[in-house]
Chains A and B, each alone.
Chain A
Amino acid sequence: MAVIGIDLGTTNSLVSVWQDNKSIIIPNALGELLTPSVVSVDEKGMVLVGRAAKDRLVTHPEHTASQFKRLMGTSEKLYLGRRQYSAEELSALVLKQLKADAEMFLGVPVTEAIISVPAYFNNHQRTATLNAARLAGLKVDRLINEPTAAALAYGIQEAQDERRFIIIDLGGGTLDVSILEKFDDLLEVHATSGDSFLGGEDFTAAMLGAFCQQLGFERQSLTREERAHLYRTCEEAKKALADQHEVQMTVSLRGQQHNAVFSRDTFVEACSTLLERIRLPIERAVVDAGMGRDDFDEVILVGGATRMPMVRSYVGRIFGRIPASVIDPDLVVAMGAAVQAALKERNQSLRDTVLTDVCPFSLGLEVSKHIGDQRSPGFFSVLIPRNTVIPASRVNRFYTIANEQQRVTAGVCQGEQRMARNNIRIGELVVPVPRGLAGEEAVDVRFTYDINGVLEVQAEVVSTGKRETLVIQNTTSAMDESTLAKSLKEMERLKFHPREDSANLALMGEAERMWAEALGDERVYLEELIEEFERAMDSQDLQICDTARQELEQRLARLRESRGHW
């Protein structure tokens, strides 16, 4: 049985599998490799995922959700129609869709997967991703860091023996930087850093702001529909700007058609602060790895947002060379996830490659320290520093701070700040100790961080030898078992459109979206087309549906041609 690799992205998601000694990206029902990570619920309460849902962002913004990966690990909920959805549930819906695509392609049921997550995802975010996988009915043993996955995709085909590369992964919503070294068959991650809230979507939002200013609109005064329409136009324009220096933008707002020319320079100016934010994680990784900018054999760009020429040239300026992206930057992470799936299965063709990864954050305990004659709580004492190769196990001794102390309580934290309060608290360790004078009793605390990202905290009282264990697994916090079971039940009640309909639905969504964006005669014309197509769909006859669909496709294509891109 095959294990699939999944790249669950902010903007697009992909599913892949290792077959015939190479990674294959599995196409979805529409025959496309990229499935937009958008979920929509229609009037009948049926769930739509992918391109059909993406078009509904413009026509039905209240019933559609996108970019929910950014809310992973938070308790924020989104309303789709009447029902509230958490980010985990929405991600689960996308995963379900991907799983169905893979099952269709492979012809066998799929239950196991490897999911890629941004390297800089913290414990809560990783937990949320695993919960989403459980809700989708997938068994996920391993989360792989996105840049590591990309390195696998590159490293496997790399023939040379000794190479060092830095991978910069700017996706839809996150930035990750990893430094890797390939030595014989060993692929070693040296350092990882990133920014969980910087991605291509931020560039689109910056463009939207600049465009609104150009048109003289208040961004706040736009309705959700208008904003979605503008956002989509900006996204199209952003993609177009990758190849051309200027782009003609046409938007219809408040019953009026606005035309504007947006140049690459304006775009760069609008995004200057975002560009600056790319620099820090890169430098941090380079400093952490103890290397200089000239120590790399290759600078590799990954992620759809690195298609933007300004990102390429900015990274190029930092390293003083032209960055490489031989493999399609949208697909490379998914391909790497498939490689990892094969590695995990010990696929014959890959048996010899060993991958070692690092933990992206420091892990430690919250402790008190003596300063002068005072005792101050809240310091962060690191046991496993960031960029330690995992699996890793470290031990440290801690002493009681008060006379007659009965137990030692310490928060387990993850982060880089010197004060624990500024880091993320992921658990608490409580160890009963025998009473005594301050500093007489001691506890040995051992942190074990295994290859699956599970942290085990073990404490042993030195005088009695009594042990306490706390496992901070990626499956406990945030969403507990009962809520998980409840939402699993609710998910089962949700209905999906049958797979055969997906082409019709996607086309319908597109036609409706074009209708919403059109004005005057075009609008009337589109309305007629939609009605005609609806009649054909109501007939339930596959033959009629297919002809009608092809007809509509052609007419929409002609309309699009008359406008340039739409």
Chain B
Amino acid sequence: MSCWAALGVDPYSDQRTIKRAYARLLKDAHPEDHPEQFMALREAYEAAMAQASRRASDVPHRPIPSYAAEPLESINPRATPEPTPEQPVAQQADSQVEQAEAAKRERFNLRMQALAEAFHELLEDPERRRDTANWQALLSLPELSNLDIRLRHGANLLPAVIKHLADPHSVPLPSSVLVLLDNSFHWTHDQNINWPIPEEAMQRLCLLMIAAHEDLLSEPPVTGWKWFFRSMFRPYGRLTRIEYIYGQGLVVGVTVLLTILCQRLALPDTVEPYLFLLALVALYAVVIGQIKRINDSGTNAGLIFIFSILLPFMYLLFAMSKATDDLNPENPRTRFVGPYFISLMSLFRGGFEYKARQRIRVFFLSIKPSLLWVLSGVWILNLVLLFIG
């Protein structure tokens, strides 16, 4: 039975007639008493309404909601709309209203276009797009507090973001930015919304978002030099690649520094033997700490072997440290690359590989300036001392 027959109306009736028939039939198919009949009726009603509205869709769209339409000059001065031309006073009030209405719509469209451009510009700027604050500034514009408008911009931006994620030559958006965008535009939050991208890309994005959230959660909150020293000399836990490389730099740096100091101070009989002793102890602590941490990471057996010949005492420390058999890739401290990056590579860029170039790139991207200062400070001191010597 067709939906028209079920409703008892002529095929291709208008929405009003369908509705009236539905309301009439509902009396006998009360949802409480006859749920089965009701469901059948409802199905017919929805099918009929869908057909009727498809035919009615030639009628112009309802106007764009004009609420929250505030000036947008602040973000894109070039797109400032032209002031509307003066209306001749003699004209009919009717057409005046109409024109004002049209001008308003025009202005609104221009603003929306400017905003969309601003989003795309930001996405294409490799420097600025890495900073969450830039995105935050755009997203907190008053226009975007309107859900309808925000969803439209989200739909506009999403294909470009997907394209960017799949581009193997670009440095990916940081996970924090992606999470911010997703939270603002509800990309993966609402399965009722259809976005203008293939379903499979959406699914990949969903998986990527999970990894991005994980990445945010497991990221150490501060990666300045204080965090670095704490992580270097912590008696437990494991090492990430960054910590390891920094540690290497520090060990070599301190060793060189102490050697130069020893030479210059003409030790041990002339001045302050306790200073020398202290320096030796410090060196020993740094080296031992570093070795222990390397050992905990369970990745550099060869290096440990070399060091262990030099420093047999470290076995004492190994005996005290935690066993490394519970090494697992989920543990953030054993990761050398974040889950977000791995997911991004395997979901969008054709597989994740441990290429040296990628590793180096990820590493350099992660360096914080304050940490660089600490390391370069040690080395500059070395050079200065060398030159003076």
Cross-chain pairs A/B with CB under 8 angstroms, 14 sampled:
A186-B23, A286-B148, A293-B65, A317-B67, A344-B32, A369-B203, A371-B347, A380-B191, A391-B39, A416-B190, A419-B206, A419-B209, A419-B210, A451-B32
- Of A163-171, A276-284, A497-505, the stretch lying at the interface with chain B is A276-284
Do residues A354 and B30 form an inter-chain contact, with CB atoms below 8 A? yes
Knowing A292-B65, A386-B192, A416-B190 touch, does A371 contact B31 (C-beta < 8 A)?
A: no
* A residues contacting the other copy or chain, number (CB 8 A): 46
Report the separation of the CA atoms of residues A25 and B145 in the bound assembly, to the nearest whole angstrom: 40
A392 adjacent to chain B (CB < 8 Å) = yes
Closest to B42 in A: A389
B191 in contact with A417 (CB, 8 Å): yes
The docked-state distance in angstroms from the alpha carbon of A286 to that of B188 is 20
Is A111 close to B, CB under 8 A? no
B191 touches A393 (CB 8 A): no
User: Within the assembled complex, what's the spacing in Å between the Cα atoms of A475 and B39?
Assistant: 25
Q: A276-B145, A451-B35 are in contact. Are A371 and B204 (CB under 8 A)?
A: yes
Residue contact A418 to B151, C-beta cutoff 8 Å: no
On chain B, the residues within 8 Å of A372 by CB distance are 200
The answer to whether B189 has its CB under 8 Å from any CB of chain A is yes
A379 at the interface (CB under 8 A from B): yes
A396 to chain B, nearest CB (A): 14
Question: CB within 8 Å of A: which residues of B?
Answer: 19-20, 22-24, 26-27, 30-32, 35, 38-39, 42, 62-63, 65, 67, 145-148, 151, 188-192, 200, 202-204, 206-207, 209-210, 347
Q: Given that A287-B151, A362-B191, A391-B31 are contacting pairs, would A184 and B23 also be in contact in the complex, using a CB cutoff of 8 Å?
A: yes
Interface string of A406-437 (1 = CB under 8 A from B): 00000000001111011000000000000000
**Cβ of A183 and Cβ of B147 under 8 Å apart?**
no
**Is A376 an interface residue, CB under 8 A from the partner?**
yes
User: Which residues of the other chain, A, contact B190 by a CB distance below 8 angstroms?
Assistant: 416-418
Max chain A Cβ within 10 angstroms of own Cβ: one of B26, B39, B145, B206: B206
Q: Is the CB of A287 within 8 A of B189?
A: no
Query: Is the pair A283, B19 in contact by a Cβ cutoff of 8 Å?
Result: no
A385 at the binding interface (Cβ < 8 Å): yes
| B63 and A292 within 8 A (CB) | yes
User: B189 is contacted by which of A283, A286, A292, A416 (Cβ under 8 Å)?
Assistant: A416
Residue on A with the closest CB to B35? Answer: A391
Contacts of B207 in A (CB 8 A): 371, 376
A185 in the interface (beta carbon within 8 A): yes
Contact string against B for A residues 227-238, beta-carbon threshold 8 Å, 1 for contact and 0 otherwise: 000000000000
Contact check, A382 vs B62: say whether CB atoms are below 8 A apart.
Answer: no
- Smallest distance from the beta carbon of A120 to chain B beta carbons, Å? 15
Closest B residue to A387 by beta carbon equals: B192
Q: Determine the distance from Cα of A425 to Cα of B31 in the docked complex, in whole angstroms.
A: 27
Q: How far is the CA of A393 from the CA of B42 in the complex (A)?
A: 11
B32 touches A184 (CB 8 A): no
Given contacts A186-B26, A354-B26, 7 further A-B contacts (CB under 8 A): A284-B147, A352-B27, A356-B26, A376-B203, A391-B31, A422-B189, A450-B35
Assess the B206–A288 pair: CB atoms within 8 A: no
| Contact flag A287-B27 (CB < 8 Å), given A376-B203, A376-B207, A418-B206 | no
Partner of A287 from the list B20, B148, B210 (CB cut-off 8 Å) is B148
